[in-house]
Each structure stands twice: as structure tokens, then as C-alpha cells.
Amino acid sequence: MSLSVPAPLVMMRGIEKSFVGAKANSDIDLDLRRGEVHTLLGENGAGKSTLMNILSGLYTPDDGSIFIEGEERKFRTPRDAISAGIGMVHQHFMLVPTQTVWENVALGLEDQPFSLDKNSIIAKVRDIQERYGIHVDPHAYVWQLSIGEQQRVAIIKTLYRKADILILDEPTSVLTPQETKALFQTIRQIRQEKHGVIFISHKLDEVIDISDRITILRKGRKVATIPVQNASKESLAEMMVGRRVVFQIGKTLQNPGKVVLKAKDLVVRGGRGIVCVDKFSLELRQREILGLAGVSGNGQEELCDALAGIRQIDDGAIVVDGVELQGKPSREFQKKGVSYIPADRIGTGLVTGMNIRENIALRKYWRKEFTRFRFFVHWENIAGRTGQLVERYSVVNPGLGFPARMLSGGNLQKLMLARELADDPRVVLAVQPSWGLDVSATLFVRETLLEQRDRGSGVLLVSDDLEEILSLSDRIAVIHKGKLMGIVEDPDSASEEQLGLMMAGTSLAEFLPDDVPPGHVPVRAVP
Ligand SMILES: Nc1ncnc2c1ncn2[C@@H]1O[C@H](COP(=O)(O)OP(=O)(O)O)[C@@H](O)[C@H]1O
Ligand SMILES: [Mg+2]
């Protein structure tokens, strides 16, 4: 009698993939067992999506083999992979907004009769929803759904195609804590049914929460595969980054000063003319970081564009140091000391075709010390200043005359910090400042913002990463569909649960007990 071990559900061996100028995957092995949640952990650019795009038939590997239940398979198209039972939910799900949930699920199915059997599709969708606890109305149009709900549609779509192997590429980056919890329930149910799940993330706490085994990738190579029992946050971070990581950042208590920025009943429209900031008010004080929490796309960016003076407002007032600025050109905002670190680093923030000096000059060239005879840019002075800034903000660069596009993401963001913070602005608007950065650049950005607060600036920190908001903020405001849900005065008193509910649209007032003694309210509702 032979004791044969069943072949793993997925076996990838020696996977190689290069792109022009980048080796994305280098000799990678990966096994997925039945009934397992296997996490791919790695920093941005480590090669996680590439490896999974290969498994799902989107990319062809340069070398290496893929076995499904012991049988070698070569996927030429995503369709080949789907028929082998592989379903991938991409970071940007590919749904048709003008169609309903059930139509999206049915879209692209093979062997469909000429007209879709609506009732049987909906019945099957409901069956999947019940089995895996995925709630979304099959008749809703996709454009009506939140990002979290759209993700559920994408998951239902793969399950509808009988995916045996489900790949989720950074699914939690767009979810509130509650939505993440619901997703994890679904993942556990899929595991229960003896399918396999490959989960991609760079968030250590959740990786430890959901995984059975973890494979760490760094710079396109596999570092290790370990069972979760052997993993700690520290050891995972060390393998992911390649050296020890200290998680603690030194945040001291500060006494905020007077109000530097006041927004009153702001109404701002987005690109398509829809109101996306709705009677929004807040006050930002000197020496404080006010965190603005919210799922991205709830009006945060439009709000900050308006506060920076680069987007028109419909109504309301913006007051900086007692001076009303609404309706004034953006340079007036700059002159009053409003600096802006936008989410869109390459686009609104920096001009990648310009060199490092020119990018520094971009928002300052009109200043006296940088002009000659009033009309000419004083390039020597700008070069001198740029040299100092690059040093102070540790921007690793091949030379000040090189185009900004030659910098890595982390160094681009440091260049932005250098330009926006060096003159100790009164107000700093920082939107998703560590988005897409590796661990060390993220720490640098966070420490720099804290330092800027300690130097006296008022910092409005917009982030969809609650961990970031909680670790940096002195107060926390929550935005949902352009409205202020409330301001939590003491972040230590707020639970992630409560903030998550506010991010999903519950007003803070609903959490306040009825009999709070006056003067002892740790949180303040919207007036
Ligand atoms: N389609 C592509 N064309 C060129 N380079 C790519 C492409 N996809 C990924 N890369 C590069 O491959 C490397 C790994 O990227 P990726 O697999 O997306 O990493 P991760 O998902 O871990 O963040 C990066 O250097 C990235 O720039
Ligand atoms: Mg990726």
C-alpha cells in the first residue's frame, strides 16, 4: 500500500518574469493546498500581482511551470485559467457600471444561449450569496454601489464560474474595518468548503488574522513560506523589508494653538458636477494633526483641492489666519502658507518631465529670493536651495538636473515634502501621503509630518488607512459622502469599530450616551 499525499491544488515552480527594465519574478515557487488561505506578503513592487497575473493567465511566464492538482497546465489566456478553476479579483475590478449586478455576473460567460435566463442567474446568485454570506442586491446597478459592494460583485462573479482557486489582490485596501470583517467571514467560508484562497496584502495584522500559511516576496524573489503559527508581526516585517523594522514612532503630546484654518459650510462639486463636499465645516489648529478618515472617494480629495485653492467652491468660506480666501487664486492660498501634498503625486503634485530643481521651483519661482530683476528666475539661488532640501529630506537622486521621473516613488514623495514643508507652512494638507510607499519611506513620511506639527504647522491628514490615522492624529474627523460624520476629540477613546461605522455613514451623535456629564465628553458630535 502506498501512502500517497494528494497533489497540492496549485504548484508553481521556478516562475520567471521580466518586464522592460524590471525583473518582476525570479525563480518563485508557490504551493496552495485545498482548504487553505495562503497569503502573498510583500512591499509594493515585490512581484505579487505579477505572480498572480501569471497564475490567472493574464501574463505568460518567461520560464517555470504551473501544476493544478498535479497536472501541468499552460494558460494562454485568462479563459484557460478560468476553465481550470482559477478566479482572480483584481485590485481594479472590471465591472460595467451601467449594468446591474446580475448582468455583470453573467457577462462574458461561455456557453450562454442567445438571451440570458435572468431568473435562473438571479437564483444562482442568491444561492452563492447565502452560502458565503455576501450581501449585495442583484438588481442594483453597479454605479450605485460602494467600492466594497463592487468588490463583492467581483467575488460573486468568480464563484459563479465555480472558481476552486480564488485569488484576491489587496482586497482590503478599499474596505472599512467592518467590510474587511465581512470579507474575512466569506474567505473562511470558502476555505471551509475546501477551496483554496490566495490572499495578497501588505498589512501585517490582517495577514496574521486570516492566513494559514504566508509566502513572503521581496524584490521579485521568494524569501520564505511559513505557517502562521511561526509568524509574528516583527518577523514578517523583517522578511518583507530585509532588515529590522521599528514600528513605534515617537509621538509626543502637543498643546495645539490657535485656529489657522477654518472651513465653514463648504459645498464643492466634483468632476461631473455632482456635489461631493456637502456643507462641510472644520477647524484646524496650530501644532495639531487633524486626521480625516474615510473610505477613499467620499469627497476628501475635492475638499483638499478646495482648501488649497485649486478647485472652485459653490458655497461656504475658507479662512486662513483670519483672512477669507474663497474665490481667490491659488497663489493667494500659497502666500498665506497653505501647502498641499496631493494624492496624485504625478499629475497635480510634481511634473515628472521637469528636473528636480524645476520641481522645487514650481511653487516658489515668483518669490523675491528666486527672481532676478523681477522678471527672471534666479536659477543659481534655486539650485542652492534645492541642494539643501534634497539633503534635509534625504531625496536619493542621480543629480539635481535629472528629471523627476528617474526617482523612485519614495524619493518622489520626499521631494514633494521638501517643496511643501521646508518653509514651515501654516497649514499642511496631506492626502494619502504614504500611499504606495515601502515601509521605510512610509515611516519617513509619518515622522516628517509629526515633526512639522511640532514645528507649529496645522496638519490635515487625509488617509483611508485607519492605522495611519490612529497613529498620527491628535483629533479625528470622519467624512462620508461629503458630509462630516463627527469629530473624535480623543483618538485614544475611539475604537476602530466606531470609526468604521462612521466611515460607513453613522453619525457620531448616535454613539453618544444620553447622560454624559457636562465637561466630560471625550467626543464631540457635529453641531
Ligand atoms: N505590465 C507591466 N509592465 C512593466 N513593468 C511591470 C508591469 N507589471 C509589473 N511591473 C513591474 O514589476 C515589478 C513588480 O510589480 P508587481 O507585481 O505589480 O508588484 P506588487 O504587486 O508586489 O506591488 C515592479 O517593478 C513593477 O513596476
Ligand atoms: Mg500589486
Residue with CA closest to ligand 1 atom 3: 19
Domain final residue, candidates 407, 422, 437: 422
Q: What is residue 514's predicted lDDT score, i.e. its pLDDT?
A: 57
- Measured from the alpha carbon of residue 26, the closest ligand is 1
Query: What's the whole-number mean pLDDT along residues 266-294?
Result: 93
In sign, the C-alpha dihedral spanning 442, 448, 452, 453 is positive
Same domain, 321 and 374: no
In a domain, 256, yes or no: yes
Same domain, 429 and 400: no
Query: What's the whole-number mean pLDDT along residues 405-425?
Result: 89
Residue with CA closest to ligand 1 atom 12: 24
- Measured from the alpha carbon of residue 437, the closest ligand is 1
Q: What is residue 527's predicted lDDT score, i.e. its pLDDT?
A: 40
Q: What is the CATH number of the domain that holds 446?
A: 3.40.50.300
Please give the torsion angle defined by the CA atoms of residues 286, 469, 215 and 45, in that order, rounded to the nearest 10 degrees: -50
In a domain, 86, yes or no: yes
- Per-residue pLDDT band at 21 (split at 50, 70, 90): confident
Of the two residues 202 and 36, the one the predictor is more confident about is 36
Number of domains in the chain: 3
- State the residue range of the domain holding 416: 350-422
Domain final residue, candidates 193, 209, 241: 241
Same domain, 88 and 233: yes
- Per-residue pLDDT band at 516 (split at 50, 70, 90): very low
Q: Is the CB of 19 under 6 A from ligand 1?
A: yes
23 Cα to the center of ligand 1, angstroms: 9
Which one of 43, 50, 203 would you pick to mutate in the ligand 1 pocket, going by the greatest count of ligand atoms within 8 A of its CB? 50
In a domain, 2, yes or no: no
Q: What is residue 110's predicted lDDT score, i.e. its pLDDT?
A: 65
Of the two residues 144 and 206, the one the predictor is more confident about is 206
Same domain, 174 and 317: no
Q: What is residue 248's predicted lDDT score, i.e. its pLDDT?
A: 63
Asked if pLDDT for residue 159 goes beyond 50, the answer is yes
Same domain, 288 and 179: no
DSSP 522: S
Asked if pLDDT for residue 348 goes beyond 90, the answer is no
Q: What is residue 517's predicted lDDT score, i.e. its pLDDT?
A: 44
Mind listing the pLDDT tens digit for each residue in 71-83? 999 999 999 999 9
Same domain, 527 and 378: no
Please provide residue 103's backbone torsions phi and psi, each rounded to the nearest 5 degrees.
-65, -40
Same domain, 417 and 427: no
Same domain, 103 and 227: yes
Q: Which residues surround ligand 2, an ion (CB under 5 A)?
A: 49
In a domain, 345, yes or no: no
Asked if pLDDT for residue 247 goes beyond 70, the answer is no
Q: Is the CB of 201 under 6 A from ligand 1?
A: no
Which residues are 12's β-sheet partners? 30, 66
CA distance 54 to 284: 47
Same domain, 273 and 209: no
Same domain, 61 and 143: yes
Asked if pLDDT for residue 35 goes beyond 60, the answer is yes
Same domain, 388 and 486: no
Domain final residue, candidates 368, 388, 422: 422
Same domain, 401 and 254: no
Q: Is the CB of 47 under 6 A from ligand 1?
A: yes
Q: What is residue 272's predicted lDDT score, i.e. its pLDDT?
A: 76
